[in-house]
Structure 1
Amino acid sequence: MPELPEVEVTRRSIRGLAGAQVRALELGKPLRWPLGTDPDRVAGCIAGEFQRRGKYLWLPLSHPDGRPDGGLLWHLGMSGSLAWLPQAGPPGRHDHVDLLTDRGVLRLTDPRRFGAVVWSPALDQPPAAQLLAGLGAEPFDERFTAADFHHALQGRRVAIKQALLAGDIVVGAGNIYASDALFEAGIDPRTPCQRIGPQRAARLLAAVRRVLGEAIAAGGSTLRDFRDAHGSVGQYQGQARVYGRAGETCPRCGGTIQRIVQGQRATYFCPGCQHR
């Protein structure tokens, strides 16, 4: 599933869309949620700069005279990707949305059809506001402090890995990145949240930020489907600290990396240097 680094990499790889005039929005097979408006409504609008919130991308639209005119909220689902093409031929069986502009075509490809494109009058109004309401803080937001993180963890009665995956405290630490951040911070993924003290919370938040930053710099992770808007694959999976490395030697203590299952998701960690 594309996580925050993959979505951010996608956002950064779409060049030239801002300022383009929309010619048409063409829809294929139904996706996770309906568009919520007539596709013709966006024809003639001017596209703004793509913004990211969690794993969502927001494309603001305006009238040619500059007046705001809502926008499109994009989600890549389980297997989706966006391609920015100079021109597009007929859509394939897994191509479900084409945003045609005077500068190129933005195409959503999603084999499993859990992705979505939803029109909203504004980012802070329904339906966009409802879809974003449960998201936690952005990991790189300096206003979200280690003290905030620690305070939020004290109200949880689950293991720390599960709290990171939930995304309602801080967004972005998907399965790969949560495993690696916990390793970086030296915390056993099974540790109850309430046992994470202020110092370990600060260390973990710093590790989350460091791992996500490295993943973005590496173009994200491509385990199966992910490509950026120009078709390039991510490289982070090749430099992951522990994810996918069960049975290998721990790079820090020389122990053996193990794999367990938490909440039906694989977790990788080193029991020798990650402590409860």
Structure 2
Amino acid sequence: MPELPEVESVRRQLAPRLVGRSVLDVTYESQDRFEGLERVGGTRVLDVRRRGKYLLAHLSGAPTGTVDRELVMHLGMTGSFRFRGEPAPVGGTAWTPDAYVRATFTLDDGVLDFRDVRRFGRLTVVPAGHYDGIATLAALGPEPLSDDFDAEVFARALARSRAPVKTLLLNQRLVAGVGNIYADEALWRARINPRARRVGPARAQRLWRALREVLTEAIEREGTTFRDYRMVNGESGRNADFLVAYGQEGKPCPRCGDPLRKITLGGRGTTYCPRCQRR
């Protein structure tokens, strides 16, 4: 599932193309994960933001006089946005719709398709700023690359809990947007065992710093692609070649040379170095 760097990379390509554009019409499949899309037609896109793993498009009120709305977008496992007929990456062909297009937005200057093979993506329209009906969005913790992500507050939250530290990172309440890939990477960099239930102030500071570092680096490389994730221009992220923990089980640890080990923690595959990452 795309995490913060992947979603931010999509946002950076969508925003310049959508902000200021009018949405003339929307066609979409009838499914539980699409709600209120009939209210998007006739609006204008005022802004495109990211919150955790969600994209938020602020829409003008339509008709005039109604409250502004937001289109809340979640890519799920296989969701992607493509502008129809756009030039493709080198060696590819321009995008044309296929059987996996689930929603189509007709703009005043083009057509944007939302493609989702496995149908886990979500498109929901809400009054601007009102996320009560989307529990995971409403309960998100601070953005890890913002000033709201305070190292001391983070350390105190870790000290209060006795849950495994990786489980805390994935629940989105402690910090927003971190998933399996970047939790493994940050814990390796901070030398913390993912099963650790006690993380003192010094290790918490290392983890706080490691989270910010690995996310920043992944954004610079436009995210991690293994199979499904693509940016709006159809290109893959370039971060996969730089991963040192996630998906590297059995390979030598870049720090000590011991084989990396994979376990299941909270139902998620977790890779770490038994020697470097002590409890």
Match of residue 17 from structure 1: 18
Match of residue 74 from structure 1: 73
Matched, 1:4 2:7: no
- Residue 90 of structure 1, CA deviation: 7.2
1:148 maps to a residue whose letter is V
- Residue 133 of structure 1, CA deviation: 1.6
- Residue 131 of structure 1, CA deviation: 4.7
Match of residue 100 from structure 1: 106
CA spacing shift, 1:158–1:89, aligned 2, 3 Å: closer
Distance in 2 (alpha carbons) for counterparts of 1:125 and 1:6? 22
Distance in 1 (alpha carbons) for counterparts of 2:237 and 2:40? 32
CA contact (8 A) 1:72 1:117 kept: yes
CA contact (8 A) 1:146 1:198 kept: no
After TM superposition, the structure 1 stretch with the greater mean CA deviation from structure 2, 116-125 or 197-206, is: 116-125
Distance in 1 (alpha carbons) for counterparts of 2:95 and 2:261? 46
Match of residue 61 from structure 1: 59
CA contact (8 A) 1:46 1:62 kept: yes
What secondary structure, in the 3-state scheme, does the structure 2 residue paired with 1:12 have? helix
Distance in 2 (alpha carbons) for counterparts of 1:146 and 1:240? 24
Match of residue 91 from structure 2: none
Aligned residue pairs total: 270
Q: Which runs of 5+ in 1 are unaligned?
A: none
1:237 maps to a residue whose letter is A
- Residue 258 of structure 1, CA deviation: 1.3
Instruction: Map 1:33-182; keep pairs closer than 5 Å.
Output: 33-36=33-36, 39=38, 41-63=39-61, 69-85=68-84, 91-124=97-130, 126-127=132-133, 130-182=135-187
- Residue 191 of structure 1, CA deviation: 0.6
What secondary structure, in the 3-state scheme, does the structure 1 residue paired with 2:7 have? helix
After TM superposition, the structure 1 stretch with the greater mean CA deviation from structure 2, 1-10 or 241-250, is: 241-250
- Residue 23 of structure 1, CA deviation: 0.8
- Residue 203 of structure 1, CA deviation: 0.7
What secondary structure, in the 3-state scheme, does the structure 2 residue paired with 1:48 have? strand
Instruction: Map 1:235-250; keep pairs closer than 5 Å.
Output: 235-250=238-253
- Residue 111 of structure 1, CA deviation: 0.9
TM-score, with length taken from structure 2: 0.90
Distance in 1 (alpha carbons) for counterparts of 2:183 and 2:241? 16
CA spacing shift, 1:113–1:161, aligned 2, 3 Å: same
Distance in 1 (alpha carbons) for counterparts of 2:56 and 2:169? 24
1:214 maps to a residue whose letter is E
After superposition, what is the alpha-carbon deviation per residue over 1:183-225, rounded to whole angstroms, capped at 9, x for unaligned? 1001111111xx1111111110110111111111111111121
CA spacing shift, 1:125–1:242, aligned 2, 3 Å: closer
Distance in 2 (alpha carbons) for counterparts of 1:258 and 1:73? 37
Instruction: Map 1:145-224; keep pairs closer than 5 Å.
Output: 145-192=150-197, 195-224=198-227
Q: Give identity over the alignment, percent.
A: 42
What secondary structure, in the 3-state scheme, does the structure 1 residue paired with 2:264 have? strand
2:3 maps to a residue whose letter is E
- Residue 260 of structure 1, CA deviation: 1.3
After TM superposition, the structure 1 stretch with the greater mean CA deviation from structure 2, 53-62 or 255-264, is: 255-264
CA contact (8 A) 2:144 2:175 kept: yes
CA contact (8 A) 2:43 2:60 kept: yes
After TM superposition, the structure 1 stretch with the greater mean CA deviation from structure 2, 180-189 or 248-257, is: 248-257
1:124 maps to a residue whose letter is H
CA spacing shift, 1:66–1:181, aligned 2, 3 Å: farther
- Residue 6 of structure 1, CA deviation: 0.8
